[in-house]
């Protein structure tokens, strides 16, 4: 058995012909930059998001940066974000001269603990960046309430949660990325909707903001060689757009397949005393970018090694919390200041999950886990 964390090759082989045709079309047209497939993809992704404006860009990190630039955030502004996230979220904040302000996460959902946001709000706070980690939306209702009360922008990082749906207490649902002012996502190959290279997109339901974002992505110009604002060069390649146009059609099927894997794991692992299966929040669907367990009372790294020896790859997201990273140390936030996140960094483990997993692989993984004895 050749178990992989993600199986991009297997996924490709199922759509090989369609992809080949789409790529060939771009190659023959030679419209490698801003070809018609880019607009087509923006339209398709917009339809998928119930008509939200979509601005494709070069990658998810750029999406975050451009969104923050478009909102007019200025050096010194404080931006609240969860401390348990991928580095890109904090990186762009720091790069723009903004001040990242970390907030602890909820130990069950792994997402920002909304009840701890208020304490971090000052007169300098301008935005909150909820990250929908591992594929499940953060608890947006209390977060939106705070944002409204303190007049803060909400910038969703949905790089791991494209396609997730949030349900409000009224029963109304919204797609991840269209809940706050702006959403930022990534098409990194291993993401739920992965390109064959880098890619990203910015989502917003605000037409004026969408125009600003579009302009910033293209050197701050609306008309060629007329630069109204300082921008960046961040475009989605036509080739990647053509590939994504094919793959977007399968996104819901991919999500279903990931959920089937997660359901299988849940059913097999829920009674194992040294593991806690992922918590499923009532307010969000889960697109299972990762299937992340918490280990309880065992040496996580020993367990990881045991699985590795059995040919089962696993990953740790993330082994070192942001506040303990050399680049992001903040005054007064040493070891012990974010106990939940610090504990997660020592206890979480993510199992293989992708669209091509077989029942044999899943059974083998679960049987191997069941026969682990510390």
Using CB under 6 A, list all residues that contact ligand PLP: 59-61, 85-86, 88-89, 131, 157, 159-160, 186, 188, 198, 200
Using the minimum distance from each CB to ligand PLP, give the nearer residue, 353 or 369.
353
- Residue 88 CB, shortest distance to ligand PLP, in Å, is 4
Instruction: State in angstroms the smallest separation of the CB of 310 from ligand PLP.
Output: 28
**Separation between Cα atoms, residue 239 and residue 30, nearest integer Å:** 10
Q: In DSSP terms, which residues pair with 276 in a beta bridge? A: 294
125, 78 contact by CB (below 8 A): yes
The smaller minimum CB distance to ligand PLP, of residues 110 and 153, is found at 110
For ligand PLP, the closer of residues 35 and 200 by Cβ is 200
Q: Find the residue with minimal CB distance to ligand PLP.
A: 60
What's the rounded Cα separation, in Å, for the pair 178 and 165?
Answer: 10
- Contact assessment for residue 231 and residue 216, using Cβ atoms and an 8 Å cutoff: yes
Question: What phi and psi values does residue 154 have, to the nearest 5 degrees?
Answer: -115, 115
Choose between 243 and 365: whose C-beta lies nearer to ligand PLP. 243
Shortest Å distance, C-beta 162 to ligand PLP: 11
Ranges of H-type helices in the chain: 8-14, 16-29, 36-48, 60-70, 87-95, 140-149, 207-217, 238-248, 251-269, 300-309, 339-347, 359-370
Whether the ω angle into residue 113 lies within 30 degrees of 0, i.e. cis, is no
Q: Which residue's CB is nearer to ligand PLP, number 110 or number 188? A: 188
CB of 85 to ligand PLP, least distance (A): 5
Instruction: Quote the Cα angle for 256-203-40, to 5°.
Output: 75
Structure tokens of 18?
A: 């369609």
* Residue 159 vs 369, nearer CB to ligand PLP: 159
Nearer to ligand PLP, 88 or 143 (CB): 88
Query: Do the Cβ atoms of 157 and 85 come closer than 8 Å?
Result: yes
Rounded least distance, CB 158 to ligand PLP, Å: 8
β-pair partners for 200: 57, 186
As measured in angstroms, the least distance from the Cβ of 60 to ligand PLP is 2
CA dist., res. 156 & res. 162, Å (int): 11
Q: Answer for the pair 291, 265: CB distance below 8 angstroms, yes or no.
A: yes
Q: Which residues contact 247 (CB under 8 A, 6 or more apart)?
A: 15, 193, 194, 195
Quote the least distance from Cβ 57 to ligand PLP, whole Å.
9
Please report how close the Cβ of residue 184 comes to ligand PLP at its closest, in angstroms. 7
Radius of gyration of the chain (CA): 21
CB of 87 vs ligand PLP, minimal distance in Å = 8
Residue among 88 and 243 whose Cβ is closer to ligand PLP: 88
Q: Which is nearer to ligand PLP, 157 or 342 (CB)?
A: 157
**DSSP secondary structure string for all residues of 153-193:** EEEEE-TT-TT-EEE-TTS-EEETTSSSSEEEEE--TTSSS
């Amino acid at each position: 058995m050749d178990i992989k964390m993600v199986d991009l090759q297997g996924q490709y082989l199922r759509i090989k012909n369609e992809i080949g045709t789409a790529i060939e079309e771009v190659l023959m047209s030679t419209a490698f930059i801003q070809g018609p497939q880019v607009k087509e993809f923006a339209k398709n992704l917009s339809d998928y998001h119930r008509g939200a404006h979509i601005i494709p860009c070069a990658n998810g990190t750029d999406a975050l940066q451009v969104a923050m630039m478009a909102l007019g955030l200025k050096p010194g502004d404080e931006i609240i974000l969860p401390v348990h996230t991928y580095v890109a979220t904090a990186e762009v904040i720091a790069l723009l001269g903004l001040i990242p302000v970390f907030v602890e996460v909820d130990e069950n959902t792994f997402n920002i603990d909304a009840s701890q946001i208020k304490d971090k709000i000052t007169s300098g706070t301008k935005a909150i960046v909820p990250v929908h980690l591992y594929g499940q939306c953060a608890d947006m209702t209390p977060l939106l309430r705070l944002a409204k009360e303190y007049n803060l922008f909400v910038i969703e990082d949905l790089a791991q949660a494209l396609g997730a749906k949030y349900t409000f207490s009224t029963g109304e649902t919204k797609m991840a990325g269209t809940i706050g002012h702006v959403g930022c996502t990534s098409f990194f190959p291993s993401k739920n909707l992965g390109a064959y290279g880098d890619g990203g997109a910015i989502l917003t339901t605000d037409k004026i903001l969408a125009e600003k974002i579009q302009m910033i992505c293209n050197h701050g110009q609306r008309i060629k060689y007329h630069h109204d604002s300082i921008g960046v060069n961040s475009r989605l390649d036509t080739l990647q757009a053509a590939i994504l146009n094919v793959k977007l059609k399968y996104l819901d099927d991919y999500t279903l397949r990931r959920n089937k894997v997660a359901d299988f794991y849940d059913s097999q692992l829920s009674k194992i005393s040294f593991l806690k299966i992922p918590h499923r929040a009532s307010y969000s669907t889960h697109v299972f970018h990762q299937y992340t367990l918490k280990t309880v009372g065992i040496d996580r790294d020993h367990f990881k090694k045991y699985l590795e020896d059995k040919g089962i790859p696993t990953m740790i997201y993330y082994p070192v919390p942001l506040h303990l990273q050399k680049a992001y140390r903040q005054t007064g936030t040493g070891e012990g200041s974010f106990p939940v996140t610090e504990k997660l960094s020592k206890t979480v483990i993510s199992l293989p999950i992708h669209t091509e997993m077989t029942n044999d692989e899943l059974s083998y993984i679960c049987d191997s886990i069941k026969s682990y004895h510390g």
